[in-house]
């Protein structure tokens, strides 16, 4: 059946792709990829040979209608990003919106998304959270940070290693130096790291080292509690 299927791909460890995702990629008439070289490596690893077409932030506005026409005419299309779930801070939304508008079937498979493991292993509240993606680099950055600091719930940010220290400095400034923060990088990879502490402690930690890889910042809703503030109800007999 002709449809658009969004296929999450590993954020690092190639073993994290699902059996269903591999089947969908094998059955697709063609695959839309953010970077055909990155996706080509994944497909080669799993011995999948399918036509690849570029679909990224710089061309998606121009290609959405053409791709939707292909699906409407009977093509079975899979969409992937370089890593994780398409549409989450990656291309995908515009094509999904166009397909939904036309009544074309759209399905998103479950699978890797970087912020979920980072959130769960942060030790910070997961019952309510706000995914903010990447901060504006210039215009609106201060307003955005002030808004996020006022939410009173766990906030999730994506950041590049080149802007990490600046972002952590601003988090300490706008959220408070004692706000709970967890930073995860290189998730599922050999050098995976998660560092937890106050905003100031985390800023100091990453100011003294060079980091690589995609980064997820988790900001807790409140400042770190001291051990004296923890209820005795949490003790185990």
Domain spanning 4-108: CATH superfamily: Tetrapyrrole methylase, N-terminal domain (3.40.1010.10)
Mean pLDDT to the nearest integer, 224-236 = 42
Of 181, 190, 180, which Cα lies nearest the Cα of 213?
A: 190
CB 39 within 8 A of CB 9: yes
pLDDT band, very low/low/confident/very high, at 222 (cuts 50, 70, 90) = confident
Share of the chain above pLDDT 90, in %: 89
Q: Measured in whole angstroms, how far is the alpha carbon of residue 66 from the centre of its chain?
A: 27
* Helix pair angle (164-175, 199-207), 10° resolution: 160
Higher pLDDT, 26 or 233: 26
Residues of the chain with CATH 3.30.950.10: 115-227
Q: pLDDT (tens digit, 9 = 90+) per residue, 159-195?
A: 999 999 999 999 999 999 999 999 999 999 999 999 9
Q: Which residues contact 167 (CB under 8 A, 6 or more apart)?
A: 135, 157, 159, 217
DSSP for the chain, please give it. ---EEE--B-SS-GGGS-HHHHHHHHH-SEEEESSHHHHHHHHHHTT----EEE--TTTHHHHHHHHHHHHHTT--EEEE-SSB-TTSSSTTHHHHHHHHHHT--EEE-----THHHHHHHHTS--SSEEEEEEPPSSTTHHHHHHHHHTS-SEEEEEE-TTTHHHHHHHHHHHH-TTEEEEEEESTTSTT-EEEEEEHHHHHHHHHTS---S-EEEEEEEEEPPPGGGS-GGG---
The reported pLDDT for the residue numbered 236 is: 38
Mean pLDDT to the nearest integer, 63-76 = 96
pLDDT band, very low/low/confident/very high, at 224 (cuts 50, 70, 90) = low
Residue 75 pLDDT greater than 60, yes or no? yes
Residues of the chain with CATH 3.40.1010.10: 4-108
The reported pLDDT for the residue numbered 105 is: 97
* Helix pair angle (141-149, 164-175), 10° resolution: 50
Q: Which fold has domain 115-227?
A: 3.30.950
Name beta bridge partners: 137: none
CB 97 within 8 A of CB 87: no
Q: pLDDT (tens digit, 9 = 90+) per residue, 111-161?
A: 999 999 999 999 999 999 999 999 999 899 999 999 999 999 999 999 999
* CA atoms of 24 and 27, how far apart (whole Å): 5
Q: What global pTM score does this model have?
A: 0.89
């Amino acid at each position: 059946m002709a449809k658009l299927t969004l296929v999450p791909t590993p954020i690092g460890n190639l073993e994290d792709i699902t059996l269903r995702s591999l089947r969908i990629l094998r059955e697709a008439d063609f695959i839309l990829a953010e970077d055909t070289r990155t996706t080509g490596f994944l497909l080669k690893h799993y011995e999948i040979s399918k036509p690849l077409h570029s679909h990224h932030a710089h061309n998606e506005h121009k290609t959405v209608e053409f791709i939707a026409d292909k699906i409407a005419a009977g093509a079975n299309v899979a969409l992937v990003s370089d890593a994780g779930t398409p549409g989450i801070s990656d291309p995908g939304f515009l094509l999904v919106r166009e397909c939904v508008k036309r009544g074309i079937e759209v399905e998103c498979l479950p699978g890797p998304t970087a912020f979920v493991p980072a959130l769960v292993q942060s030790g910070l509240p997961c019952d309510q959270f706000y995914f903010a993606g990447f901060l504006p680099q210039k215009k609106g950055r201060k307003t955005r940070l002030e808004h996020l600091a006022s939410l009173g719930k766990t906030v999730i940010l994506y950041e590049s290693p080149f802007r990490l220290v600046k972002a952590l400095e601003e988090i300490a400034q706008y959220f408070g130096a004692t706000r709970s923060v967890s930073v995860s990088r290189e998730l599922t990879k050999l050098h995976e790291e998660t560092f937890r502490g106050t905003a100031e402690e985390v800023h100091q930690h990453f100011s003294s080292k060079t980091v690589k890889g995609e980064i997820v910042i988790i900001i807790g809703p409140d400042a770190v509690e001291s051990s004296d503030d923890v209820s005795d109800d949490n003790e185990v007999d």
